[in-house]
Amino acid sequence: MRLTCAKEDLAAVLSVVGRATSTKSTVPVLGNVLIEAKDGSVIVAATDMELSLRAPLIATIEESGSVVLPRLATDIVRSMSVGPVVIEHRPGEGVVSLSSGASAFTLNCHQASEFPELPSDVGEGIRLPAATILAATERVTKAASRDDTRPVLTGVLVRLETDSLTMAATDSYRLAVRRGAITGGPSEPVEALIPARALAEAQRVLALAGADEAELVLTETQCTLRAGDVRLTTRLIDGQFPDYRQLIPERFEHELQFNRVELLGVLTRIGVLAQRNTPVRMSFSDGQLTVSAVSDQLGEGRESLPVAFSGDPLEIGFNVEFLRAGVDSIEGDTVRLGIISPLRPGLLRGESDDFRYLLMPIRLSG
């Protein structure tokens, strides 16, 4: 195999596709990237057997063939000077060469025959605006759990209806739900539990493809996202996702409004002291909110801002990182906070209910 391509193109494709490589597998080849040149096109692919990524590479093929590049090739290509990169590998040899200008590298490599077969890319899917997918994944995936002992909570529930795409994720401490309008959805609702990691990678896939829309293909066991010629395929999570609709209260004792930037600024400043298990305190009194945090090691901080609150004083505690992430995810200039009591969850929303962020409180002492 011998091909020539632009350094920037190769670096961009390796950076995205390489994120599907495995760092934990006992199968060494899974930690590397396949490059295949045949039939006049070049495909770059990687998989950890759960997530697979494939993307085209614009290149001039002088000799068809395939090779598995080691992971460090990504860093090497990034460091090369601007200009064409030549990749060359002779069948049966255990090395691959990369050269650009005066730089030349010879790297140990795997044979393409060692690389596992990638999931088949079959079936028609549902076409969705890329902006709708991005808006949901950016705001929802951060609420998914990272604890692999509870696999269901590491996923994002994706629900497709005729006119809407809804995504929901929870780690049992917070819940994020985002609903976006679409056209041409399925006649009957379709649901799938997709790994949050895969949806987080979907953002990079869409950016690499530069497509205005993507196609989502769901089967009983896997999900494929097609954007241009870029493909992301992932196994679905088997299990029952919590009924998030039952978790969100319908009514609140207090419905409060804030300027999103102002509230985010206060939480950022006070949050410096609210480290690890130290909650941030939100103390409400007539016309005012005081946000504070106390750390035995660092000290104490407090800041107040006006709010249309009336009634008996109320104090509630939250994990500041979770709270700040929710406020930061709100679309628009206004944040609405619904509160029932110090021991009941609070709900963050924007000017509409398209995005909802439910957050469990932390019991305050003293």
Per DSSP, the three-state class of 360 is coil
* The predicted structure's pLDDT at residue 259: 97
Q: Which of these, 10, 44, 47, lies nearest to 27 by C-alpha position? A: 47
pLDDT at res. 275: 72
Q: Work out the mean pLDDT of the chain and round it to a whole number.
A: 94
What is the DSSP code string of 154-190? GEEEEEE-SSEEEEEEE-SSEEEEEEEE-SS--SS-E
Q: Per-residue pLDDT tens for 312-334?
A: 999 999 999 999 999 999 999 99
**CATH class assigned to 126-244:** alpha beta
- Give residue-wise pLDDT tens across range 182-201: 999 999 999 999 999 999 99
**307 pLDDT tier (thresholds 50, 70, 90):** very high
pLDDT given at position 34: 97
Tokens of 114: 């060692």
CATH code of domain 248-359:
3.10.150.10
Which CATH superfamily groups domain 2-114? Answer: DNA Polymerase III, subunit A, domain 2 (3.10.150.10)
Is 182:163 a contact under the CB 8 Å cutoff?
Answer: yes
Q: What is the pTM of this model?
A: 0.91
Q: Does residue 133 register a pLDDT over 80?
A: yes
Same topology for domains 2-114 and 248-359, yes or no?
yes
Angle at 266 between CA 288 and CA 259, to 5 degrees: 65
Query: Mean pLDDT across the stretch 192-216?
Result: 93
Domain boundaries, the chain: 2-114, 126-244, 248-359
Ramachandran angles phi, psi of 134, nearest 5°: -65, -45
DSSP letter (8 states) at residue 136: H
For residue 112, pLDDT over 90 is answered with yes
**pLDDT at residue 366, rounded to an integer:** 66
pLDDT for 61: 97
Query: In terms of DSSP H, where are the helices of 66-225?
Result: 73-79, 130-140, 196-209
Report whether 138 contacts 109 (CB < 8 A). Answer: no
Tell me the three state secondary structure of residue 133.
helix
Quick one: pLDDT at residue 274? 82
Q: Average pLDDT of 65-77?
A: 94
What is the structure's pLDDT at 108?
95
Q: How high is the pLDDT of residue 26?
A: 84
What dihedral do alpha carbons 106, 56, 226, 357 form, nearest 10°? 50
